[in-house]
Structures are given as C-alpha cells and as structure tokens.
C-alpha cells in the first residue's frame, strides 16, 4: 500500500480517519490524526487536524465507493483490498 496521502486527498484522508476513530473508543484522536498529517506529502498542519476532528462530528455514513474516490484508490491498490475489488470509479474509467 502507498503509506501516505498526497495533495488532492490529504484533507479527506484526515476527515475519514477522524470519523473512523470516533467509533473505536478511548483514543487520542488528535494525536493519531497528527501522526497521519505528518506522513502526508506535503505534511498537513495542526489546523487541518482540528478541522478534520470538527468536520467528522456531523459526518454521515460514507460508502466504500466514496472513500475509494476521495482517496484516489487505484486499480492496483484495489486488488489488495478484499472488499474493494469492484469500485465504481475504476470500472467507469476502464
């Protein structure tokens, strides 16, 4: 897997990660998002982390297709994701 997020999907990656972490329980969401923000290319700042935390509070359910589109999942990456082998935006571009 790619191991990082680049411009164009970095903020969405933080937002999704914040939403996912909300369902896990007692975690320091801000610290975890800070780690992800540091791994982005280029890295995101603390304001982006705060924005993702705030934005995730009222976020509706997100489908796998939406996640794949937001994060720019490639056909090659999708083959490594059991449930995501059929992603609509990849099928449309074939």
pLDDT reported for residue 22: 82
How much is the pLDDT for 2? 56
Only one residue has tokens 């995730």, namely: 56
Which helix (H) or strand (E) element contains residue 51? helix 46-56
Confidence at residue 24, expressed as pLDDT on a 0 to 100 scale: 77
- At residue 1, the pLDDT reads 46
Which run of H or E residues covers position 47?
helix 46-56
Question: In the prediction, which pLDDT does 90 show?
Answer: 54
Contact 14, 34 (CB under 8 A): no
Q: Which residues of the chain have pLDDT under 50?
A: 1, 85, 94
CA 90 – CA 64 distance, rounded (Å): 12
Task: Give the predicted TM-score (pTM) of the model.
Answer: 0.74
Angle at 52 between CA 89 and CA 22, to 5 degrees: 90
């Amino acid at each position: 897997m790619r191991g990082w997020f680049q411009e164009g999907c970095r903020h969405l990656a933080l937002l999704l990660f914040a939403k996912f972490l909300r369902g896990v329980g007692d975690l320091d969401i801000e610290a975890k998002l800070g780690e992800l923000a540091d791994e982005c290319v280029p890295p995101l700042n603390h304001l982006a982390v705060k924005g993702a935390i705030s934005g995730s509070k009222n976020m509706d359910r997100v489908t796998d297709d939406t996640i794949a589109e937001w994060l720019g999942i490639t056909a090659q990456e999708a083959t490594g994701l059991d449930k995501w082998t059929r992603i609509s935006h990849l099928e449309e571009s074939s």
